[in-house]
Amino acid sequence: MATQNYNPRPRIGVLALQGDFEAHLKVLAELGADGRAVRLPEHLAELDGIIIPGGESTTIGKLMVVYGLHEILQKKIQEGIPIWGTCAGLILLSKETDNALAGQPLLASMDIHVRRNAFGSQRESFETDLSVPVLGEAPFHAFFIRGPSIEWVGPGVEVLATLDDETIVAVREGTLLGTAFHPEVAQTNGQRDPRFHHYFLRIVESVKG
């Protein structure tokens, strides 16, 4: 896949408390963005966008509280900074979730209702081609690893992709983006497919304007 460089380099923070944050940082570097690992409140300063990666949503949520990131992230969302949640990150962005563990902190910002581990355990992980019109005509090969599903969306939420059975797996609401799968490991014809990261960086650029 051809890459596209962004100039000046957008500063994208990737929440690095737990989960698949390193893969996101690698994709951002390949695209010419300035990816930064976020572990402490001071790491959220002067960012143009934020990615909340996959992992274990309860663990990430509780660590956000422990490290003082939860309220600051909510404030960033209110200020309109673009934020993308993948898999566990999607759960954390949602206003409502089924079958959450007790004490699950949520950023509760995206008008969606999700179900954790909707496709089963790690052994039931799967991959499939998705039609994602905002990314172009070519299908996007998506990996679902203990992924959530989006049960319903509010009137201001745009559905970007569904499975063949109409299960919603990618959404956008303003500057918020959510995917139930792991775009950071997507490949097409043996090459990394960075189109979802391109799409998020375009959202970031539109806000920087």
Q: Which domains does the chain have, with CATH numbers?
A: 11-208 (3.40.50.880)
Residue 55 · residue 129 · CB < 8 Å: no
* pLDDT tens column, 85-124: 999 999 999 998 886 666 678 898 999 999 987 776 555 6
Kindly give the parts of the chain with pLDDT less than 70. 1-7, 99-103, 120-124, 209
Tokens of 129: 């081609």
Separation CA 185–CA 13 (nearest Å): 18
**In 3-state terms, what secondary structure has residue 186?**
coil
Separation CA 200–CA 209 (nearest Å): 14
Q: Which residues pair with 13 in a beta bridge?
A: 36, 50
Separation CA 112–CA 54 (nearest Å): 18
Residue 93: left if φ>0, alpha if ψ -120 to 50, beta else—which one? alpha
Residue 151 a catalytic site member: no
Which of these is catalytic: 24, 43, 70, 182?
182
Residue 184 a catalytic site member: yes
What phi, psi does 79 have (nearest 5°)?
A: -80, -10
Residue 182 a catalytic site member: yes
| pTM, rounded to two decimals | 0.92
Which of these is catalytic: 24, 43, 70, 184?
184
Q: Specify the pLDDT at position 81.
A: 96
Of 57, 171, 181, which is closest to residue 119 (Cα–Cα)? 181
Which of these is catalytic: 24, 43, 70, 87?
87
